[in-house]
């Protein structure tokens, strides 16, 4: 039960002392965020991992985030993930091998244009390494616009992977949406090279299953039922949803919007349901509504990090046993590190 778990976690942490840091993403369950040393969005977590000198980084999030932590931390630090099942489906929508093939098609279709690949943090280390090799970088939802600007200073067009919605929303933010086109890697033969010939942004066909569920009807319904409500959504939502909302931002930007609200305000939040529930607990003076009511869902990947696994992981580390170690190969670590470093310097 929870008391027993609390005692066991406390005992393991006491034994480990400063040797361990527990990082938790904003979408983790209550039992995890209450026990993490730091809770934040993908960008903040990668910064915290980089700054930490703890021997063990227990990463309560998904595999691509833990991989990035391994890339960023020193070689004598070990990154562990409480559940190896925690894999973001969107990150799997742009496999490095498949991107290699698409890159060959794209660069052949546009021989005179310098394309700079930019990958969302939600991708695996081999794709981040590919981006570094091709002169590109990584971004998160909190700095995608700056990453696009960086890339467009160095080349003629951005290939953005894997989230087409974040890519489109970022192009809008920069006022270049008219020249953002989709490239379907699953059917390159149907692609008209003329359509991408003078594009500023080429969008990969990837998306988040949690955020694609939100629709303009959800925004309209909440506004009809709560005329004073403000709407904040994650930029992984479709373009029209972001346009209908009052604000869009990373999971921590969503947190900040509610934290900064005046008592009595109502905020409808379009993102993963655990964060919506945390916001309700953290800010009882604000009315926090899930944007799609009962239809809002959790992220199946994030949910895999069960508090019992965290207990087990800490006890194993305290006993000197390293489990579920996330280790990127040295060459990928070097290259992905370049792509992540370019982001951290933006
Ligand atoms: P943030 O970078 O905003 O935390 O988002 C990560 C994510 O996976 C959202 O679905
Ligand atoms: Fe991936 Fe979506 Fe889950 Fe974020 S919410 S980790 S993008 S599946």
- Nearest residue (CA) to ligand 2, atom 1: 88
Confidence of residue 199 (pLDDT cuts 50, 70, 90): confident
- Quickly count: other Cβ atoms within 10 Å of residue 38's Cβ: 16
Confidence of residue 189 (pLDDT cuts 50, 70, 90): low
Rounded Cα distance, 119 and 339, in Å: 9
Q: Where are the beta strands (DSSP E) in the chain?
A: 20-25, 38-40, 56-60, 78-80, 115-120, 137-139, 157-161, 180-183, 201-204, 230-233, 247-248, 266-270, 287-290
Exposed/middle/buried for 53, CB within 10 Å: 0-12, 13-18, 19+? exposed
Mean pLDDT throughout 224-251? 97
| Chain mean pLDDT for the chain | 94
* Ligand 1, pocket-test mutation among 87, 90, 140, most atoms within 8 A of CB: 140
Tell me, in angstroms, the distance from the centre of ligand 1 to residue 250's CA: 6
- Nearest residue (CA) to ligand 1, atom 4: 41
Rounded Cα distance, 9 and 1, in Å: 12
> Which residues make beta-bridge pairs with 165?
none
Tell me, in angstroms, the distance from the centre of ligand 2 to residue 42's CA: 11
pLDDT at 30 over 90: yes
**Domain boundaries in the chain?**
2-86+302-344, 91-204, 211-297
Q: Which CATH superfamily is domain 2-86+302-344 in?
A: NadA-like (3.40.50.10800)
pLDDT digits (tens, 9 = 90+) for 309-333: 999 999 999 999 999 999 999 999 9
**What's the confidence (pLDDT) of residue 175?**
93
What percent of the chain clears pLDDT 90, i.e. is strictly above it? 86
**What's the confidence (pLDDT) of residue 135?**
97
Confidence of residue 188 (pLDDT cuts 50, 70, 90): low
294-301 long-range contacts, CB within 8 A, separation 24+: 295/213, 295/218, 296/213, 297/210, 297/213, 297/272, 297/273, 298/27, 298/210, 298/272, 298/273, 298/274, 299/27, 299/88, 299/210, 299/272, 299/274, 300/89, 301/62, 301/85, 301/86, 301/87, 301/88, 301/89
**What's the confidence (pLDDT) of residue 239?**
96
The pTM for the full model equals 0.95
Tell me, in angstroms, the distance from the centre of ligand 2 to residue 18's CA: 30
Tell me, in angstroms, the distance from the centre of ligand 1 to residue 231's CA: 18
Ligand having the closest approach to the CA of 121: 1
- Of residues 196 and 120, which shows the higher confidence score? 120
Residue 44 Cβ contacting ligand 1 at under 6 Å: no
Residue 298 per-residue DSSP state? -
Q: Which CATH superfamily is domain 211-297 in?
A: NadA-like (3.40.50.10800)
- Quickly count: other Cβ atoms within 10 Å of residue 113's Cβ: 16
Confidence of residue 288 (pLDDT cuts 50, 70, 90): very high
pLDDT digits (tens, 9 = 90+) for 62-111: 999 999 999 999 999 999 999 999 999 999 999 999 999 999 988 888 88
**What's the confidence (pLDDT) of residue 296?**
77
pLDDT digits (tens, 9 = 90+) for 121-133: 999 999 999 999 9
pLDDT at 294 over 90: no
Q: Do the domains spanning 91-204 and 211-297 agree at the CATH topology level?
A: yes
- Nearest residue (CA) to ligand 2, atom 3: 299
Ligand having the closest approach to the CA of 208: 2
Q: Which CATH superfamily is domain 91-204 in?
A: NadA-like (3.40.50.10800)
pLDDT at 193 over 90: no
Tell me, in angstroms, the distance from the centre of ligand 2 to residue 209's CA: 7
Least confidently predicted of 177-191, 230-244, 265-279: 177-191
Residue 191 Cβ contacting ligand 1 at under 6 Å: no
């Amino acid at each position: 039960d929870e008391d027993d778990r609390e005692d066991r976690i406390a005992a393991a942490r006491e034994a480990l002392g400063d040797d361990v840091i527990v990082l938790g993403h904003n979408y983790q369950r209550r039992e995890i965020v209450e026990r993490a040393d730091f809770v934040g969005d993908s960008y903040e977590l990668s910064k915290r991992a980089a700054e930490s000198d703890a021997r063990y980084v227990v990463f309560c999030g998904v595999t691509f985030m833990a991989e990035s932590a391994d890339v960023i931390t020193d070689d004598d630090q070990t990154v562990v993930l409480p559940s190896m099942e925690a894999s973001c489906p969107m990150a799997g929508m742009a496999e490095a091998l498949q991107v290699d093939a698409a890159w060959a098609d794209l660069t052949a279709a546009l021989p005179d244009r310098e394309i700079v690949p930019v990958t969302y943090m939600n991708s695996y280390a081999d794709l981040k390494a590919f981006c570094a090799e091709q002169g590109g970088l990584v971004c998160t939802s909190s700095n995608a616009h700056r990453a696009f600007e960086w890339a467009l200073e160095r080349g003629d067009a951005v290939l953005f992977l894997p989230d087409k919605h974040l890519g489109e929303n970022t192009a809008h933010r920069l006022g270049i949406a008219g020249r953002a086109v989709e490239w379907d890697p699953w059917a390159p033969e149907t692609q008209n090279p003329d359509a991408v010939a003078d594009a500023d942004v080429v969008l990969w066909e990837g998306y988040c299953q949690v955020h694609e569920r939100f629709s303009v009807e959800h925004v309209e319904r909440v506004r009809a039922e709560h005329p004073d409500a403000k709407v904040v959504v994650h930029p992984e939502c479709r373009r029209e949803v972001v346009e209908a909302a009052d604000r869009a931002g990373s999971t921590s930007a969503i947190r900040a919007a509610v934290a900064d609200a005046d008592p009595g305000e109502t905020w409808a939040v379009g993102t993963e349901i655990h964060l919506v529930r945390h916001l309700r607990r953290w800010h009882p003076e604000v009315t926090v509504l899930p944007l799609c009511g009962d239809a809002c869902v959790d992220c199946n990947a994030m949910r895999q990090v069960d508090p019992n696994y965290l207990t087990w992981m800490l006890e194993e580390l305290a006993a000197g046993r390293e489990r579920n170690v996330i280790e990127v190969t040295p060459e990928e670590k070097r290259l992905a590190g370049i792509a992540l470093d370019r982001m951290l310097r933006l």
